[in-house]
Amino acid sequence: MYSNSKCTKLFLLYFFLILSNIKYSFSIDMNADELYKSCSDYYKWVDKDYSIPVNDKILFNMGKCQGVIETLGKTMLTLCYERKRNVNINKNLTANLEGIKTIEIIEKFLRFAYTDSKLRSYSSSSYLISFISKSWPCK
């Protein structure tokens, strides 16, 4: 039988491995193709097209699409305001999204990304930043 200290050490080792695995799985960035699919599902549901079957993973990814685009949009708009105040911010990180709704960004993103055959080779964040800054430049 194991002694109490060996059981504790074994438990702590398993606990550490589980936490490391969870941290690694959350740190993996989506590629642009996965974001495109998630946003496509989200757009269909907002447009009241319920033809796709939904499970918890699809719902999670639809929420992820909305959250990523809203958060990134607000950040880029804030950086646009700061750029106008003569703060030295790269124009590729800014966008003038004042009055633009999230669903409008998603709709335009879907039309733009549909024609790109190399979506899997881009990270979702870099692809979105580039797309948004070109579509709604900060002036």
Q: Is the pLDDT of residue 112 over 80?
A: yes
Supply the pTM of this predicted model. Answer: 0.75
31 has which bridge partners? 123
pLDDT in tens, 15-72: 555 655 555 444 457 889 999 999 999 999 888 888 878 889 888 989 999 999 999 9
Q: Which domain holds residue 21?
A: 1-29
Are residue 97 and residue 117 in the same domain, yes or no?
Answer: yes
Are residue 13 and residue 44 in the same domain, yes or no?
Answer: no
Are residue 118 and residue 50 in the same domain, yes or no?
Answer: yes
Are residue 1 and residue 16 in the same domain, yes or no?
Answer: yes
* Short-list 102, 100, 82, 98, CA closest to 90: 82
- For the chain, the domain total comes to 2
Are residue 37 and residue 77 in the same domain, yes or no?
Answer: yes
Are residue 70 and residue 109 in the same domain, yes or no?
Answer: yes
